[in-house]
Amino acid sequence: MRIVKLVLLMMLGSIGVTMAQSKKGTLVTAKISTPTVQCESCKNRIERFMQKEEGVQSTKVDYKKHITTVKFYSDRTNIENVKAAIANVGYDADNVTANTESYEKLPLCCKKPEDGGGMEKKQ
């Protein structure tokens, strides 16, 4: 009886490991708040930079809604790395603040309004 229980436990354990391995590498879609993204230039800068990030399949920036949608492979990167990559471009990403050096290099139109930046509203 003990042998049967042991064999069943081993079989269930190996099934669990197999299922866990198949979940690795799944494509994850994350929506990240990017409140400092203000214009088409910001959008293009982030999308171009994210193409170089390992594990990121696609990036779509909606600068009007201040949301960036990123699809990435979970076995190659994670959400924190994605947010850090956006911050390294010079933009805030959820709870991760922009890299200061990168932010300073942004054109004036891409900076925060309190820093003298921002796009003029077209009417």
Query: For residue 68, what are the domain limits?
Result: 24-108
* Residue 115 resides in a domain: no
Residues 6+ apart with CB under 8 A from 122: none
* Residue 71 resides in a domain: yes
Q: How many domains does the chain have?
A: 1
* Residue 114 resides in a domain: no
Contact 90, 110 (CB under 8 A): yes
Report the predicted TM-score, pTM, of the whole model to 2 decimal places.
0.74
Cα angle 82, 64, 114 (rounded to 5 degrees) comes to 85
User: How do residues 26-74 score in pLDDT, each as one tens digit?
Assistant: 999 999 999 999 999 999 999 999 999 999 999 999 999 999 999 999 9
* Residue 13 resides in a domain: no
Report how far residue 25's alpha carbon sits from residue 55's, in angstroms, rounded to the nearest whole number.
9
Grouping H, G, I as helix, E, B as strand and the rest as coil, residue 61 is strand
Average pLDDT over residues 4-14: 56
* Residue 10 resides in a domain: no
Q: Please report, for the domain that includes residue 72, its CATH number.
A: 3.30.70.100
